[in-house]
Amino acid sequence: MYKQGLYPIVRKSASAKGIFDITVLCPEAADLAQPGQFAQVLAEGFFLRRPISICGIDKAKGTLRLVFEVRGKGTEQLSRLNVGDNIDLMAPLGHGFTKAEGKAVCVGGGIGVPPMLGIASEYGSDAVAITGFRNAAAVILQEDFKAAGCDTVLCTDDGSAGIHGFVTTALEEHLQKEKPGIIYACGPTPMLKAVAGLAEKYGVRCEVSLEQRMACGVGACLGCAVKINRGGKEAFLHVCKDGPVFDAKEVVFDG
Amino acid sequence: MADLRVTLAGVEFKNPVIPASGTYGYGREYECLYPLSRLGGISVKGTTLHERGGNIPPRIAETPCGMLNSVGLQNGGAEKFIKYELPNLAAKDTRIIANIAGSTVEECAELAAMLNGTAVDMIELNISCPNVKQGGAAFGTDCTVAGAVTKAVREASDKPLMVKLSPNVTSIVDIAKSVEAGGADAVSLINTLLGMRIDIKTRRPVLHNNVGGLSGPAVFPVAVRMVWQVANAVRIPVCGMGGVSTAEDAIEIMMAGASAVQVGAAIFRDPYAPVKIIDGINEWCDQNGVKSVSEIVGTVKPY
């Protein structure tokens, strides 16, 4: 179940260089949304919609928060939209994160951090957000995780903010201290693969959010294929409908 | 309210708008937006004899005014279609066009025979898929083979038969004449045009299949031209498609000679596109004193 329509942008800010943070008033879509789902938005002048993960859901206010990085001309076009402008949005799409018993570790890398906020907020003080960025200038959402009551561990590749190193090092240190109920992760594929490996090593359930070039966004065109091993059988499932969230054990990272 | 009914290969459609194969699944993903009974029909996802896993991703690339795809006919196979999808579709009060693709002539005939006696209203024989190694476009680019596979399916099937043609040929008119001679009741065109995109940073093709089929508004003028040429060369009706995105596009391709219209990639941009096109055609007919939409078919006045 999803909605499509033109909805007004009610808040906009630039979070870091090239990262935009918009809040869209779309009560029918917000009401249906779950953490880990995504929206497909149209950029004027471009043929295909852009999939953007849902960063925050406010059902009371009827809003969805989308945080995206300018990666090409389409997202650059989207970044020019302002408060009061309408955005053509389809949401919520896909299969989101599942909640688990106990504490959660949310691991995000770069533009994989925004979908972590939605699920981390559900756990509040029972979640730790381990996030990694290239450098201090790229850091986003740290105050939001803290406002949601989560512990935060910040890592940067160059050490210009937080810990100098990768999220996987911080994750392993955390896992050595305590065993959470679940690990959620979104970010570059090598990071996801490493997180999935650590989850297996420490015997913790893990869900990862994947990306793929996409067209319809709803499971009709079968464009956004990813190789998944379910029940001992490898098959191409689809990020837009079967995902974007998959059990890390099922993902064939080298497929 | 104009009369939107059209007849294609002896089958009456409540309106001329049909989501194109491969862009609409079996309709399940769009039912939450509007009832499928609004549609003239649905051309379902290309079905093969056995399950197909499809091509290695990435399968999608954006292009100016369109897109490339190389899905590679991923589908659950004919048995699954007949058992799980067809009963569901049969209850939706819309025409069901079964798009079938085989890797050999015998396989095409076997597939067609499996659909005898089912709720399928029409067969669309796909001899034009650019994304598979066997069958597909290999059938659709040679007049003799195209005629032979059409004949084999015609003999095996008790359903009206439409053959979907490839634009990646020297003369689509010659292919159309061959399938007409083979016994086709209608032709649908155009399938996608073979294209390619390269990521200049990595020097790798965007699609893992290297090449893929181009669709969207970019191909629309090619579709109009080919529909016009084919409609003037064969006696069987033409179902027009290729970049149709608006009611005006649908009317244009019908004036070129299409009796009905398929809508594909436009659905990815706007999932309501098929119903907006139906409403727009009705409005246009009313505004232009056209009582029945079928009156406009082939009415272009060429210079």
Tell me the average pLDDT of chain A: 96
Range of the domain at B34: 6-45+74-192+217-296
Residue B249 belongs to a domain? yes
3-state helix, strand, coil in chain B (%, to 5): 35, 20, 45
**To the nearest whole percent, how much of chain A has pLDDT over 90?**
96
The three-state secondary structure class of A246 is strand
B107 assigned to some structural domain: yes
Contact check, Cβ <8 Å, B74/A222: yes
Residue A214 is given by DSSP the state: -
CATH, domain A97-209, list 3.40.50.80, 3.90.45.10, 3.40.30.10, 3.40.50.300: 3.40.50.80
Interface membership of A217 toward B (CB under 8 Å): yes
Interface of B with A (CB under 8 A): 22-25, 28-30, 32-33, 45, 53-67, 69, 71, 74, 206, 216-217, 265, 267-272
Contact of B121 with B11, CB cutoff 8 Å:
yes
What's residue B54's pLDDT? 96
pLDDT of residue A254: 78
Q: Which of A47, A220, A225 sits opposite B66 (nearest CB)?
A: A47
For the domain with range A3-93, which CATH number is right: 2.70.70.10, 2.40.30.10, 1.20.120.10, 1.10.287.90?
A: 2.40.30.10
- Which positions in chain A touch B74 (Cβ < 8 Å)? 222, 225, 236
Within a domain: B206: no
Phi/psi of residue B89, each to 5°?
-65, -35
- What is the predicted ipTM? 0.94
> What are the extents of the domains in chain A?
3-93, 97-209, 210-255
Check which CATH number belongs to the domain holding B98 and give it: 3.20.20.70
Q: Is B200 part of any domain?
A: no
Q: Judge residue B114's burial from the number of C-beta atoms within 10 Å of its C-beta, 0-12 exposed, 13-18 middle, 19 or more buried.
A: buried
Distance set, CA B239 to CA A119, A162, B160, B295 (Å): 48, 62, 13, 15
Number of structural domains chain B divides into: 1
| Distance (Å) from the alpha carbon of B25 to chain A's nearest alpha carbon | 4
| pLDDT tens sequence for chain B (303 residues) | 999 999 999 999 999 999 999 999 999 999 999 999 999 999 999 999 999 999 999 999 999 999 999 999 999 999 999 999 999 999 999 999 999 999 999 999 999 999 999 999 999 999 987 767 667 677 888 999 999 999 999 999 999 999 999 999 999 999 999 999 999 999 999 999 999 999 999 999 999 999 999 999 999 999 999 999 999 999 999 999 999 999 999 999 999 999 999 999 999 999 999 999 999 999 999 999 999 999 999 999 999
For residue A14, the model assigns a pLDDT of: 83
Q: Give this prediction's pTM.
A: 0.95
| pLDDT per residue as tens digits for the range A142-189 | 999 999 999 999 999 999 999 999 999 999 999 999 999 999 999 999
Q: Residue A197 and residue A251: Cα distance in Å, rounded?
A: 11
With the CA atoms of A229, A230, A233 and A239 taken in that order, what torsion angle do they form, in degrees rounded to the nearest 10?
-60
pLDDT of residue A43: 95
The span from the CA of B106 to the CA of B122, in Å, is 19
Q: Is residue B111 part of a domain?
A: yes
Tokens 């093969």, residue located: B48
Cβ count near A69 (within 10 Å)? 19
Q: Which CATH architecture has domain A210-255?
A: Ribbon (2.10)
- Three-class SS string for A13-79? EEEECCEEEEEEECHHHHHHCCCCCEEEECCCCCCCCEEEEEEEEECCCCEEEEEEECCCHHHHHHH
Per-residue pLDDT, averaged over A36-60, amounts to 96
Strands B66-69 and B212-215: antiparallel
pLDDT range class, residue A255, cuts 50, 70, 90: low
Q: Is the pLDDT of residue A108 over 90?
A: yes
| Residue A152 dihedral angles phi and psi, to the nearest 5° | -125, 140
Q: Chain B within 8 Å of A243 (Cβ-Cβ)?
A: no
pLDDT above 80 (res A120): yes
